[in-house]
Amino acid sequence: MLDFRGSPSSYLLKGKYTMGKITYATMSADDPALHQAYEEGLAAATGQIGQTHPLLINGEKRYTAETYTERSPIDSDLVVGVYSQASDDDVDDAVAAARAFQPEWEGTPWQERVAIIRRAADLMDEETPTLAGFLSLEIGKNRLEALGDVSEAVAFANYYCDRLEEAGGMETAMGAYGVGDTNHSVLRPWGVWAIISPFNFPMALVASPTSAALLTGNTVVLKPSNTGALGSLLLADIFSRAGLPAGALHVVTGGDEAGDRLAHHDHVDGVTFTGSYDVGMYLYRTVAAGRPKPVVCEMGGKNPAVVTASADLDLAAEGVMRAAFGLSGQKCSANSRVYVERPAYQEFVNLLADKTGEIQVGDPRRRDTFVGPVIDQEAVGRFRSAVEAVKEAGGEIISGGEVVTDGDLERGNFVQPTVVTAPEDTWIWKKELFVPFVAVTPVDSLDEGIDKANDTIFGLTAGVFAGTDGEVDRFFERIQAGVVYANRRAGSTTGAWPDIQPFGGWKGSGTSGAGSGGPWYMRSYVREQARTVIRE
């Protein structure tokens, strides 16, 4: 396994650039120490990529004959890692080990579980620069996105620890009949929890469900995307060094077959999935077919913004630009549709085009890069298809629209951030693209904009830019989305942060009704048991 303990920069970020400093709302980060720390962490990470990694089952490092080679989206010549691929037997062994250890883990006092997760958060915090370097190499995140991913993982772990401590554990005294009885409501874990994680947030979107499940006494089997698997392995190593027993967390890298077997395993008691709508709905329909069990799915979005004629249009254009093109449009919260009241439409489009044209596209390891690569050539193909669909429909490419192949970028997956307008029956208005691509159209009123914003199977995030409180209130009352923002320059639809904006979707974007990083999230990982004792 990788060993980045004692990396030269770790002290530079500890206790300084955590939740309050580096978040997705960070507008600028000109502190030289921050950049020095990142660059030294990147150098340390660069020296350790390309290794072959095992499955982690009950403390055993299990190498398999079948492997998957992950190449950096920055440069296809750069091998990030080679991952063992789990067979059906490997998945079965991981679930069996998790099931065998679960009673012991549940019996561990909750205070000890909290202490372990807090130590893991501290290690992540200390090692932020090197972890961020790995994420830039693996996912193509620019330095602020990479630092933010790690800092969010720290924030998730600490936030759930805080909630458990504030509750005083998982037991609540209830009323009494008055006949010598005592009654308690006890929240107990479901048992073995499967987590199937996506590529785009290899630290944060693993740390959140893993921390919540472990804190509540579940054992975890984690199956990350093959693209993004290194982040999960790094996190598992951190949990181990923090003192987490080997039986509590198991990692099975592999493809869709491994994920499908894990999710549908008879001895798995709950599932958290983050990914596409089609796969999420398939799991939601089938996982609990044999017996009731929780299936927590976050399934992406086609996230709208509405801009009224009274809005600050420069602020609106900045917010849309950041939300549409941050992480190269590969956030499930990315802003991909914009509805602008007609009197403001042309000025808004001009401002958005100008800001988009100023974006630095290139190697995300460079300090001035805002948009790095998309994750793979399949994403490049989706981008090409979307651009072609706009042209065929008689739409207009307002800005961008090209694949970037200049110099060394030819070996990566780079595309221009793109602004378009197109007829609203074009499929680009409906399908989640996961590339830096946003469509804009005029509307005659705020209500028309809201109606069109709601006309989607999704309901993850949404934003409004308006000059009056009445317009903002109207938007909030009618919009069908789980995370909503008004007049947010840092990102019209993006940037949720633990303890600030719980992140969860409505409609086809989510199944649990509770946002991660919010006060109700851990409730998904437990079930209630009512206990009565009579002493006559």
pLDDT for position 536: 83
Q: Is-contact 466 447, C-beta < 8 A?
A: no
DSSP string, 465-502: E-SSHHHHHHHHHH---SEEEES-TT-SS----TTTS-
Residue with tokens 């992406």: 300
pLDDT for position 31: 80
Q: Is-contact 253 80, C-beta < 8 A?
A: no
C-beta neighbour count of 315 within 10 angstroms:
16
- Confidence band of 2 (pLDDT split at 50, 70, 90): very low
Task: Convert the pLDDT of each residue in 124-182 to its tens digit.
Answer: 999 999 999 999 999 999 999 999 999 999 999 999 999 999 999 999 999 999 889 99
Task: Convert the pLDDT of each residue in 481-490 to its tens digit.
Answer: 999 999 999 9
Q: 489-511 as b/e, with b when 16 or more CB fall inside 10 Å? A: bbbbbbbbbbbebbbbbbbbbbb
List the Cα angle 238/242/248 in 5-degree steps: 85
- Confidence band of 15 (pLDDT split at 50, 70, 90): very low
Residue with tokens 């190449």: 71
Task: Convert the pLDDT of each residue in 337-365 to its tens digit.
Answer: 999 999 999 999 999 999 999 999 999 99
pLDDT for position 32: 87
Q: Which two tokens stand for residue 492?
A: 């019209």
Catalytic machinery residues: 298, 332
C-beta neighbour count of 63 within 10 angstroms:
11
pLDDT of residue 20 exceeding 70: no
Please, what is the average pLDDT of the chain? 94
pLDDT for position 25: 64
Domains located in the chain, CATH noted: 54-299+513-531 (3.40.605.10), 303-497 (3.40.309.10)
pLDDT of residue 21 exceeding 80: no
Task: Convert the pLDDT of each residue in 310-338 to its tens digit.
Answer: 999 999 999 999 999 999 999 999 999 99
Q: Which two tokens stand for residue 493?
A: 């639809």
Q: 399-426 as b/e, with b when 16 or more CB fall inside 10 Å? A: bbbebbeeeebebbbbbbbbbbbbeeeb
pLDDT for position 10: 32
pLDDT of residue 290 exceeding 70: yes
Q: Is-contact 139 375, C-beta < 8 A?
A: yes
pLDDT for position 391: 98
Task: Convert the pLDDT of each residue in 432-451 to its tens digit.
Answer: 999 999 999 999 999 999 99
pLDDT of residue 299 exceeding 60: yes
Could you give the C-alpha distances from 81 to 17, 151, 370, 491, in angstroms and in order? Answer: 28, 23, 25, 32
Strands 67-71 and 79-84: antiparallel
pLDDT for position 421: 98
C-alpha 216/C-alpha 266 separation (Å) is 21
pLDDT of residue 3 exceeding 70: no
pLDDT of residue 535 exceeding 80: yes
